[in-house]
Amino acid sequence: MTSTLINSSTALGTETCLSLQNVTISYGKFEAVRNVFMDIPRGKVTAFIGPSGCGKSTVLRALNRMNDLVPGCTLKGRVLFDQHDLYDPRVDPVEVRRRIGMVFQKPNPFPKTIYENIAFGARINGFKGDMDELVERSLRKAAVWDECKDKLKESGLALSGGQQQRLCIARAIATEPEVILMDEPCSALDPISTLKIEETMHDLKRSYTIVIVTHNMQQAVRVADMTAFFNAEAVEGGTGKVGYLVEFNDTERIFNAPGQQATQDYVSGRFG
Amino acid sequence: MTRTPLSYSNTPLFERRPLTYNPSLARNRLNQCCTALAGFFSAVAVLPLFLVLLYVLVQGGQLLSLKLFTELPPAPGLEGGGIGNAVLGTVLVTLIASLISIPIGVGGGIYLSEYSAKGWFAQFVRFANDVLAGVPSIISGVFVYGIVVATRAFAGQSYSALAGGLALSVLMLPTVIKTTDEGLKLVPQELRWGAYGVGASKFVTIVKITLPSAFTPIATGVVLGIARAAGETAPLIFTALFSPFWPEGVFNPIATMSVLIFNFAIMPYEAQNELAWAASFVLVIMILAANLLARWISRLARS
Amino acid sequence: MTSDAPPPPIAKPTQPPTTGIPITAASFTLRRRPTSEKLLDLGFHQLTLLLASFVAILLLLIVITVFHGAREAMASFGLRFLTTSAWDPVNEQYGAFIAIYGTLVTSLLSLLIAIPLGVGTAIFITEDLIPTAMRNVIGVMVELLAAIPSVVLGLWAIFVMEPAIRPALDLLHHWLGWSPLFATVPQGPGMAPAILILVVMILPIITAISRDALNQVPIELRQGAYGVGTTRWGALFNIILPAAVSAITGGVMLALGRAMGETMAVTMIIGNALNFDVSLLAPGNTIASMLANQFGEADGIQVSALMYAALILMLLTFVVNVMAQWVVRRLSLKY
């Protein structure tokens, strides 16, 4: 399986979905992560791993311009999505986020009904079809339909944490984005909910490009085709740490035959 | 493996637009309109402050002189004069109000926060305090009139500085209680436990540990409360009344700046109108200074 | 020793003599607390209890005083007082309809103007539309506006605002004069300037409370909205404002209470009419300004009638304030 994956990724090497070219992201004067080069392939699951504070979430949020909401956050370099620079001044971040959806660390359903949680995003994206069908399809894809088909008119907040997170996944896929970003989607969940969400991801990667930040290395092994390892180092003369990309390769390689000593140390649990 | 199409081709259900910003889209137009409207509203909201300050500073500042603080207001029709008695009266009446409401308010706040945080009685007192805070200021004047002025309770006098101070203290009390209660709640529980741990009694803990560490929020609230009381007029017009003379002790009617502004603003004489502006100037400067002081106290504590 | 024992969640005592559980105290402590210290403790507790009770007693006293004062007028005028508009000291006939009408109309209309202004300003200074420093400056300025005494605003309204808006009011009369609400020629003091000055006075409350409410909406909710591709105002109208609406409503109710009881500025600019006129451009009256104007010189049953009016005002503000608290508590944010 892995060999075919490597083969297919080399064969379809042009099929890069998101390309980061010398990306440096700063909060005010402090660099959070510097000089990231990375080509995220289409139709695969890519995981970002690394110790806390290495900037992996920051990089993820740069991919759909979520960092615009953080005052003082600036980005240097280029982020290409289908050969379009997302940080071109002519680009509308709203349009970007409609194409690149996101699931957050903490489940954050809107304080509306379950039905409305799904329908809201679709409606503002100019959905023209049968809304009931879309809601059902999205909830089915996120594997939460059975649990909430009888309470579509109840508040999304009435669900359990794991169900809420799958509702948020359903909400993200309802708008049919091309990419789904997941920022530690399971960190607030119990093991059983985590497992269900990982199963959901396996189903989803057939139709979407997924980028996931995770603290959990087993999770990266279980769900990801590609893995990027980020690390942080102290800056000379500075007080904080700055993150950088150490290594980006097939998950198999990262965990079994990493090219860097730091990666080896991290995946074998020697630090972080 | 099924793959999603690469291009921007529209999916059957969603229309896909290019990534570039299109200002003529309905949603972007609406956005710009709303932002402009919000900006306009903020400008309108800030405008009165500018205009009021401008007029008070210009109109009132013209009359600023030492004479203003040392002379009495002129008789109707005459020129010149000052508002010395009113400045003194405002200080005196506000002082009386503070002397009454600060001890009661801080004590009551200590009870609410330290002795009975969740009990029904404390909840009831908090409710009563909120209601009291919502009572219109004129009502506290009516109340003091009914209970003190009409009955001539103080040394057989009807209108008096003391009655005025009492009416103002009714207004200040809820503020002082609330800031004390909430200020004390901010003190970390560990600090109290630490004091109990070394064998301090409750009284010592509150007086030596809890109260000092909540000093800043309480002081801020009290300063703001005093500033607000100093500018109040409604409770004073039929308790402290007014007097064209220098203050004659706490049992006699007394002039205050706020009542002076009210009385002189509606008089048909230029000199009186000008003194009203001058009094506004002094009052506004005092109140703004108190506000800045309160801000400074809380910033000092934060750093 | 036990009477003043600190609340149960006390840390594990490090020194045996301070243990809260009195296992024959003498067995491990030699030093007893002096009686004076215990008395002080107890005395302080009782003192603060007394001071706290004072608030409740004060509130009760206010109600009793006003009610007692109003009894005579209540007996002679009954509920007719609410619906008649005679205010005739010579024949001792009193009705508060003008004042009640004025109180309700001025406060509600000022609220109608102040809500969009206040909420709009709050949005402008909580959203990331302008630099943080500018947002803070606007916030501080609105707070300072709240600190300006009512009587100073009244003075400003008489000499500056009213002459300045007169042309606009004239135009209003010119265009809408057919409507009874604008049927009179504006001549100085009146309901319209009173409403405007009330807007100035309640704007800071609405702005401050809306600002806090918007700031308390969790960042996750905001991110979620942007994550599905809403625009800023799409997120505001669909997600953020609905989440903050109960707190904002509470603030609006508090502002209403404040507007109904506001005295000085209104008294100075409303004209204190004794005859009823439905027009907003004509002089009017409110309960509070009636009290401010007449209380000092009233005697006999007029004092009682004024007390009756004061009682009505208290009831109105009480209901509004309690509802404000209820709204905030009952509809508190669910996220």
DSSP A178-213: SEEEEESTTTTS-HHHHHHHHHHHHHHTTTSEEEEE
CB atoms within 10 A of CB C198: 28
Higher-confidence residue of B157 and A67: namely A67
What is the rounded distance in angstroms from the CA atom of residue C129 to the CA atom of residue C265?
34
pLDDT at residue number C51:
92
Weakest mean pLDDT among A177-186, A196-205, B161-170: A196-205
End-to-end CA distance of chain A: 30
- Between strands A16-27 and A30-41, the pairing is antiparallel
Q: Tell me how many domains chain C contains.
A: 1
Nearest neighbour of B11 by CB, restricted to A15, A82, A176: A176
**Contacts of residue C148 in chain B, CB cutoff 8 Å?**
49, 52, 231, 284, 287
What is the rounded distance in angstroms from the CA atom of residue B119 to the CA atom of residue B102?
24
pLDDT above 50 for A246? yes
The answer to whether C316 contacts chain B (CB < 8 Å) is no
Range 45-104 of C in CB contact (< 8 A) with B: 45, 47-56, 58-59, 61-62, 65-66, 68-69
User: Is C79 domain-assigned?
Assistant: no
Per-residue pLDDT of chain B (303 residues; tens, 9 = 90+): 333 433 344 456 677 777 778 888 888 889 899 999 999 999 999 999 899 999 999 998 888 888 888 888 888 878 888 899 999 999 999 999 999 999 999 999 999 998 887 788 888 999 999 999 999 999 999 999 989 888 887 777 888 999 999 999 999 999 999 999 999 998 988 888 888 888 888 888 998 889 999 999 999 999 999 999 999 999 999 899 898 889 888 899 999 999 999 999 988 888 899 999 999 999 999 999 999 898 888 888 776
**What residues make up the domain containing A247?**
17-108+179-267
pLDDT at residue number C27:
53
- Between strands A84-85 and A73-81, the pairing is antiparallel
**Contacts of residue B12 in chain A, CB cutoff 8 Å?**
129
What is the rounded distance in angstroms from the CA atom of residue B28 to the CA atom of residue B148?
64
Q: What is the pLDDT of residues A1-38, one digit of tens each?
A: 333 333 334 444 448 889 999 999 998 888 889 899 99
pLDDT at residue number B286:
92
**What residues make up the domain containing C143?**
100-296+317-330
Tokens at residue C70, please?
């109003």
Beta partners for residue A138, in sequence order = none
User: Is A100 domain-assigned?
Assistant: yes
- Between strands A209-213 and A45-49, the pairing is parallel
**Contacts of residue B136 in chain C, CB cutoff 8 Å?**
260-263, 288, 313-314, 317
What is the rounded distance in angstroms from the CA atom of residue B227 to the CA atom of residue A100?
54
User: Is A60 domain-assigned?
Assistant: yes
Nearest neighbour of C120 by CB, restricted to B42, B107, B232: B42
Q: Are C253 and C330 in contact (CB under 8 A)?
A: no
User: Is A84 domain-assigned?
Assistant: yes
Closest of C16, C20, C41, C37 to residue B202, by C-alpha: C41
Task: Give Cα separations from C14 to B193, B197, C20, C37, C110 (angstroms).
Answer: 11, 7, 12, 22, 61
Contact A94 C333 (CB under 8 A): no
∠ CA B35-A67-C131, nearest 5°, is 45
The answer to whether A34 contacts chain C (CB < 8 Å) is no
Helix (H) or strand (E) holding A229: strand A226-234
Residue B61 phi/psi, 5-degree rounding, is -65, -30
Closest of A120, A128, A172, A116 to residue C234, by C-alpha: A120
Q: Are C62 and B139 in contact (CB under 8 A)?
A: yes
**Contacts of residue C49 in chain B, CB cutoff 8 Å?**
111, 115-116
- Rounded to the nearest 10 degrees, how much is the dihedral formed by the CA atoms of A161, A108, A207, A137? 80
Range 72-91 of C in CB contact (< 8 A) with A: none
For residue A98, give the chain B residue with the closest CA.
B16
**Contacts of residue B44 in chain C, CB cutoff 8 Å?**
117
What is the rounded distance in angstroms from the CA atom of residue B111 to the CA atom of residue B4?
67
User: Which chains have 3 or more CB–CB distances shorter than 8 Å to chain C?
Assistant: A, B
CB neighbours of A189 closer than 8 A, spacing ≥ 6?
A: A161, A162, A165, A197
| Helices of type H across chain C | 35-77, 80-83, 97-126, 132-147, 150-156, 162-176, 191-216, 219-227, 232-235, 241-261, 264-270, 287-294, 301-330
**Contacts of residue B27 in chain A, CB cutoff 8 Å?**
94, 124
Range 199-218 of A in CB contact (< 8 A) with B: 206-208
Contact B1 A206 (CB under 8 A): yes
Neighbour-count burial for A24-36, b at 16+ CB within 10 Å, e otherwise: bbbeeeebbbbeb
Q: What share of chain A is helix, strand, coil (3-state, %, to 5)?
A: 40, 30, 35
B126 by Cβ neighbours in 10 Å (0-12 / 13-18 / 19+) ranks as middle
CB neighbours of B286 closer than 8 A, spacing ≥ 6?
A: B227, B230
Closest of B234, B274, B238 to residue B258, by C-alpha: B234
* Look-up of token digits 């970390």: B188
Sequence-separated contacts (24+) of B211-215 with Cβ below 8 Å: B211/B110, B211/B184, B213/B187, B214/B180, B214/B183, B214/B184, B214/B186, B214/B187
- State the 10-residue block means of pLDDT for chain C, 335 residues long: 46 48 55 78 91 93 93 90 86 89 95 96 89 88 90 94 92 89 87 95 93 90 90 91 90 93 93 87 92 85 92 94 83 52
Residue C213 phi/psi, 5-degree rounding, is -60, -45
Closest of C201, C199, C196, C213 to residue C251, by C-alpha: C213
User: Is A173 domain-assigned?
Assistant: no
What is the rounded distance in angstroms from the CA atom of residue C103 to the CA atom of residue C284?
9
User: Is C46 domain-assigned?
Assistant: no
CATH of the domain at C323: 1.10.3720.10
∠ CA A209-A228-A82, nearest 5°, is 40
Tokens at residue C152, please?
């100073």
pLDDT at residue number C331:
63
Amino acid at A253: R
Nearest neighbour of C242 by CB, restricted to A111, A125, A157: A111
Whole-model pTM: value is 0.86
Contact C227 A69 (CB under 8 A): no
Contact B107 C47 (CB under 8 A): yes
Handedness of CA A191, A192, A195, A197 (dihedral sign): negative
CATH of the domain at A238: 3.40.50.300
- Between strands A73-81 and A16-27, the pairing is antiparallel
What is the rounded distance in angstroms from the CA atom of residue C69 to the CA atom of residue C308?
7
User: Is A51 domain-assigned?
Assistant: yes
The answer to whether A155 contacts chain C (CB < 8 Å) is yes
Contact A106 C221 (CB under 8 A): no
Count Cα neighbours of B90 within 13 Å in the Cβ-side half-sphere: 26
- Rounded to the nearest 10 degrees, how much is the dihedral formed by the CA atoms of A213, A72, C132, C238? -40
Nearest neighbour of C51 by CB, restricted to B111, B130, B147: B111
Closest of B290, B284, B287 to residue B54, by C-alpha: B284
Secondary structure class of B253 (helix, strand, coil):
coil
Tokens at residue A242, please?
């700055």
User: Is C276 domain-assigned?
Assistant: yes
Fill in the DSSP letter of residue C20: S
What is the rounded distance in angstroms from the CA atom of residue C143 to the CA atom of residue C146?
5
**Contacts of residue C242 in chain A, CB cutoff 8 Å?**
111-112
User: Is A248 domain-assigned?
Assistant: yes
What is the rounded distance in angstroms from the CA atom of residue A93 to the CA atom of residue A91?
6
Handedness of CA B53, C255, B103, B115 (dihedral sign): negative
pLDDT at residue number C33:
72
User: Which chains have 3 or more CB–CB distances shorter than 8 Å to chain A?
Assistant: B, C
Give the distance, in angstroms, between the CA of residue B137 and the centroid of all CA atoms in the same chain: 12
Amino acid at B209: I
User: Is A136 domain-assigned?
Assistant: no
CB atoms within 10 A of CB C187: 12
Contact B202 C4 (CB under 8 A): yes
User: Is C187 domain-assigned?
Assistant: yes
Sequence-separated contacts (24+) of B27-31 with Cβ below 8 Å: B27/A94, B27/A124, B27/C231, B27/C234, B28/A92, B28/C231, B30/C231, B30/C233, B31/C231, B31/C232, B31/C233, B31/C234
Range 157-186 of A in CB contact (< 8 A) with C: 157, 168, 171-172, 175
**Contacts of residue B7 in chain A, CB cutoff 8 Å?**
82
Fill in the DSSP letter of residue C18: G
CB atoms within 10 A of CB B193: 17
Q: Tell me how many domains chain A contains.
A: 1
The answer to whether A96 contacts chain B (CB < 8 Å) is yes
What is the rounded distance in angstroms from the CA atom of residue C334 to the CA atom of residue C332?
6
Q: Are A37 and A21 in contact (CB under 8 A)?
A: yes
C150 by Cβ neighbours in 10 Å (0-12 / 13-18 / 19+) ranks as buried
Closest of B176, B173, B285 to residue B220, by C-alpha: B176
User: Is C146 domain-assigned?
Assistant: yes
User: Is A121 domain-assigned?
Assistant: no
pLDDT at residue number C13:
45
Residue A270 phi/psi, 5-degree rounding, is -80, -20
pLDDT at residue number C296:
79
CB neighbours of B248 closer than 8 A, spacing ≥ 6?
A: B254
Tokens at residue A227, please?
């893995």
Q: Are C136 and B46 in contact (CB under 8 A)?
A: no
